[in-house]
């Protein structure tokens, strides 16, 4: 079974169609492939095109990308992940806020207030 990144590598460099049967077609994840392609400046428009035509079969999407994206070596693009902060987690737990609301409140609170919240929400046990 192929991983989604095998499909991305074939689209970017190999040009070999990995979708040969139903099982490999099920393993193809258009979201992961399009997101991976969007990190390369010359593939953004192709990824966007496939996002707009999400209703197409997976095999058609893969064929389009294999035949339109030029084959060349591209630098590895690390996935962007949101950073989890202890302060935000503490605010969320104490006030029962969402991530967005906790981010809005964080600049308003002083360091002393945040420290008090941490002490109040500390549940004990082992720390990582």
More confident residue, 35 or 125: 35
Question: pLDDT tens digits for 40-88?
Answer: 999 999 999 999 999 999 999 999 999 999 998 888 877 777 777 889 9
Q: Are 12 and 42 in contact (CB under 8 A)?
A: no
Tokens representing 26?
């099920």
Q: Assess contact for 10 and 18: CB atoms under 8 A.
A: yes
pLDDT for 1: 62
Dihedral sign (CA 82, 86, 88, 92): positive
pTM: 0.65
- The first and second tokens of residue 6, run together, are 């095998």
Instruction: Sketch the domain layout of the chain as residue ranges.
Output: 4-68, 86-121
3-17 residue pLDDT tens? 888 999 999 998 899
């Amino acid at each position: 079974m192929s991983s989604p990144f095998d499909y991305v590598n074939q689209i970017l460099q190999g040009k070999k169609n990995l979708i040969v049967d139903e099982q490999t077609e099920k393993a193809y994840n258009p979201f992961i492939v399009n997101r991976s392609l969007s990190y390369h400046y010359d593939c953004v428009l192709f990824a966007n095109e496939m996002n707009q035509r999400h209703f197409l079969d997976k095999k058609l999407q893969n064929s389009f990308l294999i035949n339109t994206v030029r084959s060349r070596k591209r630098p590895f693009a690390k996935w962007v992940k949101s950073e989890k902060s202890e302060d935000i987690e503490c605010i969320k737990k104490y006030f029962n806020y969402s991530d967005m609301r906790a981010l809005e409140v964080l600049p308003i609170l002083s360091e002393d207030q945040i420290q008090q919240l941490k002490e109040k929400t500390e549940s004990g046990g082992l720390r990582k």
